[in-house]
Structure 1
Amino acid sequence: MHKTSWMTSDILGRLNANAGMLLLRSLWEYCPEHMFIVRVEGPADFVIEAMNSTRQAMLGDETACIGKRIEQLLPPPMCHGVIANLHRCAECGSPIRYEEKGGYVDRHGACQQGHWQTLLVPITNQEGRVTHLFGVSRDMSQLPEQPVGASPESKEFERRVHERTAELVAANEHLTHLATHDCLTDTYNRRYLQELAELELRRASRYEQSLCLMMLDIDYFKKINDSEGHLAGDEALRCVAHTILATVRECDLVGRYGGDEFLILMPETTADGAREIAERLRRTLTQTSRFTVSIGIACLAPTDHFVVDLIHRADTMLLQAKRNGRNRIECAA
């Protein structure tokens, strides 16, 4: 029994209060499902407090995981989805279930893909405030295959269950996509982009990492709508969005902010790096389409506490780019 990992958590230590709780302790140590407890330190700030042996086998031993934040253990964009669900459970104060797919780096440094069904249960203190979240995850990719000799009826029933489950999962993923993406450009919508951006800003501030935000819009977009119609305007938006997604890095967050304005959040990026990406995007659009864009760039400053601070400065730079002739880039000092 892993007594060290057990004693690292005050919550789990309370299970020793009486013999009747030994069953729960045994479940924790020997259950094949992934079990974990996270401490709620803020709206998007969650720290691993404890994990059972199965979870440790996936991510690493206790010393490698306990006390670390979610974003330190899981890569984006997977960590964004996990944090969003932890926040949802802490906010509503009720158990929630969700499914997730994604990649992670295991204890041996190898990249792995997984598919999990997770139950989250909030743990409150005497004042009723949610202080911790208890989670149980089932690795769907590791479920046992159909046993040999199963009857045709059971096989047919299992097949129908799998088909129905797959349909429900697909429907849920589709609804999630609709709720988080702009239907015209297939980039993040404004609300979801700002949620993700706030998480990245907190992470960058905490670890003193660079972060840049780019705001751009399509030059003379109103003229396109007025002279060629809104269908032409929609095509311009799709063309620019497609070029953005094909140009930026996988870790960058792209969303439609409103009208013909797009935001691109670039983690761990300096002003020079952001300008290089912006110039590549501007040049690609000029060479491959009839559209041009004006771009404003802002970099994270010590006084920035919210994403809106970055957005305001990037917007100011965007206006300056338009006043200076359009189809150009301006970056805040």
Structure 2
Amino acid sequence: MQQKTPWLTSDILNRLNANTCLLLVRSLWEYCPEHMFIVRVEGPGEFVIEAMNSTRQALSAENSAVIGKRIEQSLPPPLCHGVLANLCRCVESGAPVRYEENDDYLDRDGIYQHVHRQTLLVPITNTEGMVTHLFGISRDLAFPPEHHVLSPAVTGELERRVSERTAELVAANEKLAYLATHDHLTGTYNRRYLMELAEQELRRATRYELPLCLLMLDIDHFKTLNDARGHLVGDEALRCVARTILATVRECDLVGRYGGDEFLILMPETTASGAQELAERLRNTLTQTSRLTLSIGIASLAPGDDVVIDLIDRADTLLLQAKRNGRNRIECAA
């Protein structure tokens, strides 16, 4: 029999950030029959109930009344001390804690209550590794075991809904990551992200004494094109150049829009002759497929280059030289 693939794999969880995981937990609360809650850690031994699901409709009013209250304000003394001890244990260890409660007590209305439940606490840490919240899920053992057994139909529906929600959250997270790192018009890297990646490549090239080249290029007479034919035509020209660049460079090359009609191409482990060969191919391809031409400046990594802006300055100077020499040219430092 073929083994069934888990519906929520560790690979999916690894791709989710903290906010996405919280959204996933909240969506699970709509369908999970167990009691789930989030406690905020305010200090040593100080905990505030921040969120709580309603496992049964009858508990919804009670749940909403304890949100924002401290543990000692929400639980009777016979239960409070044991719960606080386990919350502290989870914070101090920084690891999940499982414990069981089995006790009898009188509630605030003088009604006899019996508690027998098993609870799992999971610490939630911030970027500095400090435990800021505890996530808990409790199973009430006072009910017969069959009370907690879901039918195959319900289990299948729960898995389907959670799987759909997980896929939606992963897609949304990937879209946000793309928008944060790419130029919306051309699909190339935006300037901020390109500079981050370029600095990493510069450090790698310097450490291992590898060649590195940077190309700066822009579209000849782009301002005239914009003024004469409008910005929509100018935008399409930028997209055309970006498509041509992306189709020409290698997978390891970094391409980004530096500003206006200027693009940067960073070519790791590439000599000046290799960069010039690609620049010629790029310029020829564009002139054959459109009426656009490019001016290109090429700078190579040199001793003393500490930051990427050193290469950009030299490439920019060579680009201006290509413009002065008639445009539709490539200038490369000797």
**Do these two structures clear the TM 0.5 threshold for a shared fold by scoring above it?**
yes
1:182-221 alpha-carbon deviations (Å, 9 max, x no partner): 0000000000000000000000000100000000000000
Cα distance, 1:151 vs structure 2:
1.1
TM-score by length of 2: 0.56
- Give the paired residue count: 194
CA distance in 1 between partners of 2:262 and 2:151 (Å): 58
CA apart distance, 1:323: 0.5
Q: Superposition pairs for residues 1-333 of structure 1, below 5 Å?
A: 122=128, 151-333=152-334
Large movers: runs of 4+ above 3 Å:
119-124
Deviations 1:38-79 (A, max 9, x none): xxxxxxxxxxxxxxxxxxxxxxxxxxxxxxxxxxxxxxxxxx
Q: 1:332 to 1:165 in 2, by over 3 A?
A: same
- CA distance in 2 between counterparts of 1:123 and 1:237 reads 44
Rounded Cα–Cα distance in structure 2 between residues aligned with 1:245 and 1:222 = 23
Structure 1 residue 122: Cα displacement: 4.6
Letter in 2 for 1:229: G
The 1:316–1:159 alpha-carbon spacing in structure 2 relative to 1, beyond 3 Å, is same
CA distance in 1, matches of 2:175, 2:127: 25
Q: Structure 1 residues 202, 323: CA separation in 2 closer, same or farther (over 3 Å shift)?
A: same
CA distance in 1 between partners of 2:313 and 2:151 (Å) = 63
If the length of structure 1 is used for normalisation, what is the TM-score? 0.56
- 1:187 maps to a residue whose letter is T
User: Identity of paired residues, percent?
Assistant: 75
CA apart distance, 1:302: 1.4
**How many Å apart are 1:123 and its aligned residue?**
6.7
- Aligned-partner Cα distance in 2 for 1:120–1:305: 33
Structure 1: 5+ residue runs without aligned partners? 1-32, 35-118, 125-148
Q: How much has 1:156 moved relative to structure 2?
A: 1.1
Q: Closer, same or farther in 2 for the Cα pair 1:123/1:168, shift >3 Å?
A: closer
* Structure showing greater Rg: 2
Quick one: structure 1 residues 276 and 120, their matched pair in 2 at CA, closer, same or farther if it must change by over 3 Å? farther
Please give the secondary structure, in 2, of the residue aligned with 1:216: strand
Matched residue of 2:283: which SS?
A: helix
| Cα root mean square deviation, aligned | 2.1
How many Å separate the matches in 2 of 1:297 and 1:183?
A: 26
